[in-house]
Amino acid sequence: MPVDNDLYNRLAHTWWEQDGALTLIRTGLNDARFGYFRQVMLERLGVKPQGLRALDIGCGGGYLAEEFTRLGCRVSGIDPSPASIDAARAHARATGLDVDYRVGSGESIPYEGGTFDIVYCCDVLEHVRDLDRVIAETSRVLKPGGIYFFDTINRTWRSRLIEIKVLQDWPLTRVQPRGLHDWNMFIKPGELRTVLNRHALDDREVVGLKPRVSPFRLLRTLRGVQKGTVSYAEAGQRLDMGVTKDVSELYMGYALRGSATTSGGRA
């Protein structure tokens, strides 16, 4: 089934709801992946985030944009979904956070070259039609030495089973909208590494991201969502996502921007 990116317009009102499908990203993924990003910045790279400019590519409702803002970054967020941008702006206003949100896409980032110290792109790369262009644009707007964070989904038998069959297709366990993902658009780590290096992004690490619960508990949680006895917010918490060496499904990592000129980028 082809990926349906318009669902982010249709479901934008649910970004911050307790019982909407998109809430799984906030309660299930956000703590683990932002914890990893923060640890890389503060402990491994010794970066002080206060005042650094950060760009969120495909910001959705603003989950990660708000986290980076609280860390001290000056955050800009772009997303091709106008309804999602409206939801992100509304939530930022309600929480007193200053985030510059704009409608825009990763294929044509609306900022000058070398603008940002940090760029991150999560829940996005497996949805884009031109991965090479998105990475070229990412590299263009990053300063030399800047940090690029990412997460995406590996194209394996395991991701077909879990992300497509269990979470999206099978009636007894389905908790995600049909058309959210297309297995053919998932990206192997080696494929992503090749594109990153082509555009002067030196990949430093890839780690896995997976539930730290048994398959039985996972299935029981999904059934609870189906029956209405478990909210999406609670389901995300029950998954207890954490960093792992297993990159066979979800994976994330970081790269550093070199000084070489990127191919295909604008001056």
pLDDT tens column, 246-256: 999 999 999 99
Helix, strand counts (H, E) of the chain: 10, 8
Pick the more confident residue, 11 or 194: 194
CB 60 within 8 A of CB 26: no
pLDDT tens column, 105-127: 999 999 999 999 999 999 999 99
- In the chain, the amino acid numbered 150 is F
On whether the 7-153+180-207+250-257 domain is CATH 3.40.50.150, my answer is yes
The pLDDT score that the predictor gives to residue 2 is: 67
For the entire predicted model, the pTM comes to 0.94
Block residue for tokens 């970066």: 47
pLDDT tens column, 162-191: 999 999 999 989 998 888 999 999 999 999
The pLDDT score that the predictor gives to residue 18 is: 86
Q: Helix H segments across 114-204?
A: 131-141, 157-159, 189-198
Look at residues 237, 236, 253 and name the one whose alpha carbon lies nearest to residue 245.
253
Domain range annotation of the chain: 7-153+180-207+250-257
- In the chain, the amino acid numbered 183 is W
